[in-house]
Structure 1
Amino acid sequence: MASVRQVQVTFDCAEPERVARFWCEVLGYVVPPPPDGFATWDDFGSSLPPERQGAAFVCVDPTGAGPRLYFQRVPEGKVVKNRVHLDVRVGTGLVGEERLAALEAECARLLALGAARVRLLRADGENESCLVMQDIEGNEFCLD
């Protein structure tokens, strides 16, 4: 039997720090302290060769329960739908209008951060309602 392993979720993006800070706001994550010997992440970045400056950024769950999120700069833009996406669980245990109200409230908060609303998927007797959204670089995620 395999042992449980930690998971890191990696995002390919054009602007790693900008996207990471967006997800910090969405999830209540934080930017970890810079490596030993550096007062700030900017100091650390300045120590890297020019082609690696700004090439990656990280955010973490301050409780340690959620996965680490890693954002890496890639040269190509997003061209197709994500094959994997995050479900941000804001309506857990809620049904009907109460669930829709929770989803809409969180949607409004995230729109102010730069997210985009794609569509509402209404409850269908098997699944509860959820909202499909995009982050600031067009990566799909759901408010569930």
Structure 2
Amino acid sequence: MSQAKTVQITFDCEDPRAVAKFWQVALGYQDPPVPEGFGSWDEFNAALPSEQQGSAWAAEDPDGVGPRMYFQRVPEEKTTKNRVHLDIRTGTGLTGDERLAALDAEARRLEALGARRLQLLKADGINESCQVMQDIEGNEFCLD
């Protein structure tokens, strides 16, 4: 029996390129290499049939450590809370005011990219503080 070796995270979205660019900046990711025979992703996209243009985008960790992210256009809008979400590990090892300051600094950086803060979950004696956010299309994620 074989086991999965790698994971790709797929986002359903309205504007794959815009959502991919948000996550690239948020995580320090980049576009994958341009397919052979094309000078740029824009050139590749222009070569697709019109109904497929702009329908997908990807982001990769330049160090090859994090999972590849794939963004695909879907016709329906997001309507409910995510069942799975990403955590951006911002305050690892930090507690109290130091952790809150780190979460706030990262939240401000991501708000400048179009993210929105939802709820700050303060430390409760079991879990440390966590900032719930939304990306530019409303997908929830946490700064923890």
Structures share fold, TM-score greater than 0.5: yes
Q: Return 5+ residue gaps in structure 1 as ranges.
A: none
Aligned length: 144
2-side partners of 1:14 and 1:138: how far apart?
A: 11
1-side partners of 2:117 and 2:56: how far apart?
A: 26
Q: Which residue of 2 aligns with 1:43?
A: 43
Q: CA RMSD in A?
A: 1.0
How big is each residue's C-alpha offset from its partner over 1:48-97, in whole Å with a ceiling of 9 and x where there is no partner?
11110000000000000000000000000000000100000000000111
Q: Does 1:60 align with 2:60?
A: yes
The one-letter amino acid paired with 1:69 is: M
Secondary structure in 2 matching 1:131: strand
2-side partners of 1:35 and 1:61: how far apart?
A: 17
The CA deviation at 1:46 is 1.0
Which TM-score applies when normalising by structure 1?
A: 0.97
Q: Which residue of 1 aligns with 2:7?
A: 7
1-side partners of 2:3 and 2:11: how far apart?
A: 25
The CA deviation at 1:2 is 5.1
The 5-angstrom pairing of residues 1-144 of structure 1 reads 3-144=3-144
The CA deviation at 1:3 is 3.7
The one-letter amino acid paired with 1:87 is: D
Q: Which moved more, 1:63-72 or 1:29-38?
A: 29-38
Q: Percent identity?
A: 65
Which TM-score applies when normalising by structure 2?
A: 0.97
